[in-house]
Amino acid sequence: MPSSIPAFATRSAIARAVRRKPLGAFGFVVVVAMLVMAAFAEQIAPHAYDETIRGARMKPPSAAHWLGTDNLGRDIWSRIVYGARVSVMVGFATVLLGLAVATAVGVSTGYLGGAYDLCVQRVVDAWMSFPYLVIILSVMAVLGPGLLNVVLSLALIIAASSSRVIRGATLSVAEQTYVEAARAAGCRHSRVIVRHILPNVMPTIIVLATISLGGVILAESALSFLGFGVPPPFPSWGAMLSGSGRTYMFRAPWMAVWPGVAISLAVFAFNMLGDALRDVLDPRLRGT
């Protein structure tokens, strides 16, 4: 976007976006809030994530502890603020890695076609015929628990399913006459891909990234819930709902409520933002 646009034009553009896509704008605000929470957790959280506050075991929400405290006397709001860090880190790392692989596979199979495409597509088929949680857990069983392994196994899923969509987008771009013209003018395949295919597939990739982020955060929380995520005491929203705390939830229900609200809100926001972006950038993806 050129920087010479007057400020009032940008402001009215924002106002128009909010009016036309109110839910998308809401999603955007929540996503920004989550990024700020993750980046400045030390400044925002009133307590450290592992700080045991004396005489504050399982206290209900109050002015001192907005969301209450858990069975070890830790401030739940502070742990949720720090927990955003895990969700954001895993989310972005997974989507970056997964989409990088998906783009390489999707663009190359879509552009080159032939036997290479056929073979790769059959492997993608087979990979996608597993339920995603089953394949992730099986990979985790091989790799062992840990944050990096969560990212690796989730990225595998994102790569397989997104490569299919990116391949489709590549197919339709590769048919365009400007691609034919570029080839006729003597461009190498590598130049056609980098200068003509990739820029036109980019909107699809951006939309995929936003929509995948919600799914990845949801999947990360499920893995953490099952005990495969970041090791304690560092908080992740999924892990806060599992483990030793579960037996205390009957006496301190706020322990069970807030982490789930945080997960749902974050995923809801990414989904809303993704939906709005898709309508604007890539209407072809509607219904996926």
- Binding residues for another protein (CB under 8 A): 23, 122-123, 125-127, 129-134, 137-142, 144, 214, 218, 221-222, 225-227, 238, 241-242, 246, 249-250, 253, 256-257, 259-260, 263-265, 267-268, 271-272, 275, 286-287
CB of 288 to another protein, least distance (A): 9
Contact 22, 41 (CB under 8 A): no
CB of 159 to another protein, least distance (A): 14
CB of 144 to another protein, least distance (A): 7
Phi-psi category of residue 243: left, alpha or beta, with phi > 0 → left and psi -120 to 50 → alpha: left
CB of 140 to another protein, least distance (A): 7
CB of 261 to another protein, least distance (A): 9
Closer residue to another protein in complex, CB, 113/145: 145
Using alpha carbons, select from 71, 238, 42, 38 the residue that is nearest to residue 145. 238
Closer residue to another protein in complex, CB, 209/213: 213
Closer residue to another protein in complex, CB, 174/266: 266
Closer residue to another protein in complex, CB, 55/144: 144
Alpha-carbon gap, residue 58 to 265, rounded angstroms: 24
Tokens of residue 187, six digits: 């461009």
CA angle 4, 9, 12 (to 5 degrees): 155
- Residue 75's SS3 state is strand
Tokens of residue 33, six digits: 């809030």
